[in-house]
Structures are given as structure tokens and as C-alpha cells.
Amino acid sequence: MGHHDHHYNNGPPPPMYNQQPGGYGQGYPPQQGYPPQGGYYPPQQPQVIYQEAPRQQSSGGGGICAALLAVVDMAQSVPPGDIATQPGTKIVFNAPYDDKHTYHIKVTNSSARRIGWAFKTTNMKRLGVDPAAGVLDPKENALIAVSCDAFAYGQEDTNNDRVTIEWTNTPDGAAKQFRREWFQGDGMVRRKNLPIEYNP
């Protein structure tokens, strides 16, 4: 029994030792080389920033670097500026309504910051907007096609039809590519309603 015990105690260590050099041992050289090279991402990346800031400060650019880091999400904490739409207050479609109508809206970013914008409609079945979302640099404008599909005028409720444009400042450093997340975070969003009038 004692011999069996002894054998049992001796048995497991060799496989474990085999596993360690095999599994861990092979991983060790790269892993040991890794942390100094930035292999451990979470601790390493902030360190890289802090390491660079003092170095740059000595050359005078560090203040800007630090300020930029602090401002990454500041853009979205500032209320978005104004936009201009043409037409300014409403969209008018004229009868007959046997065919699809398309009306163009011009949207201009009058603010000093890049904005992301998105259109919504009250009646997805009848009203379409193309493109429905985008990004505008300061003073840039876009032409948006608002279309109204054929419908039986007078037989459908058109009283509350409208398109709404929402816009928000894009985060600093973000690519000029629309992202729905900009509207889902804490950033301030402004909106403008353009009621739709149907001329009989």
C-alpha cells in the first residue's frame, strides 16, 4: 500500500512538469519579452501616454498633447450649434399623388464643429429620406431627397406627417463616417421638425 502511495505521489508531478515546459514553457519566452514591448495592453497603453507626455513637454509640445487627451469627449458635452435647412419651416407636396414625389432639402452646418445628422419620418410607409444620415463639416452642406410614395389623398391621415432632423457634435478625432452611437450616448442632441403639407 505504501509503495502504491509512493508511486501515486510520484506519478502526478512528472505529467505536470511535462505540461508546464510544454504549455507554459513554450509561452514563456514570448510572454517575458511581451510586457516591455506592450504585450499587456491595458496597463501598457496608459503608460505609453504618460511616458510620452513628459518627454514632449521638455520640447514644449506636451501641453498640447495633454490638452488633446483631456478633450477627447469634450466635443459631445458642448451643445451642438445651429443648422440651416432649405426649405426652412415645412415641406410641401402638391397633388396629384398618383406618382412618387421627390423633394430636395438642403442642410447646412452653420456651426463651428463637425456634426453627425440623421433624419426620422413619422410615416415610414409613405415617406422616404435619402441619405437618411451623414456627417457635415462646419459650413458644409448636403442635399437630401425626401420622397412621398403614391397614396390615396383624402383617404389617409396626413395631418401629423413630418420629417425630423437630429444632429449632434461628433467626438473629436472620430472619422468622418456616421455612427448611430453618437446619438445613443450622453452627447447633446438637437432636433428640428419640418412638417409636411399636402396641397390638394
Between 167 and 72, the more confident residue is 167
User: For residue range 1-57, what is the model confidence (pLDDT) as tens digits?
Assistant: 555 555 445 555 544 444 444 444 444 444 444 444 444 434 433 333 433 444 444
Task: State how far the alpha carbon of 194 is from the alpha carbons of 34, 92, 114, 135, 162, in Å.
Answer: 57, 10, 22, 20, 6
**Are the C-beta atoms of 115 and 172 separated by less than 8 Å?**
no
CA distance 37 to 90: 59
Residues 182 and 111 in one domain: yes
**Domain range for 8:** 2-74
Query: What is the domain-level CATH number for residue 138?
Result: 2.60.40.10
**Are the C-beta atoms of 80 and 113 separated by less than 8 Å?**
yes
Could you tell me which of 145, 156, 143 has the C-alpha nearest to residue 107? Answer: 143
Residues 53 and 8 in one domain: yes
End-of-domain residue from the set 56, 74, 92:
74
DSSP string, 78-140: SPP--EEEESSS-EEEES--SS-EEEEEEEEE-SSS-EEEEEEES-TTTEEEES-EEEE-TT-
Residues 67 and 88 in one domain: no
- Look at the pTM and tell me if it is higher than 0.85: no
Residues 149 and 60 in one domain: no
User: For residue range 76-99, what is the model confidence (pLDDT) as tens digits?
Assistant: 788 999 999 999 999 999 999 999
The count of structural domains within the chain is 2
Residues 21 and 94 in one domain: no
Q: Which three cell numbers stand for residue 134?
A: 451623414
User: For residue range 135-167, what is the model confidence (pLDDT) as tens digits?
Assistant: 999 999 999 999 999 999 999 999 999 999 999
Residues 22 and 103 in one domain: no
Q: Which three cell numbers stand for residue 93?
A: 407636396
Q: With residue 57 as reference, give the H or E element that holds it.
A: helix 41-59
Amino acid at position 185, single letter: G
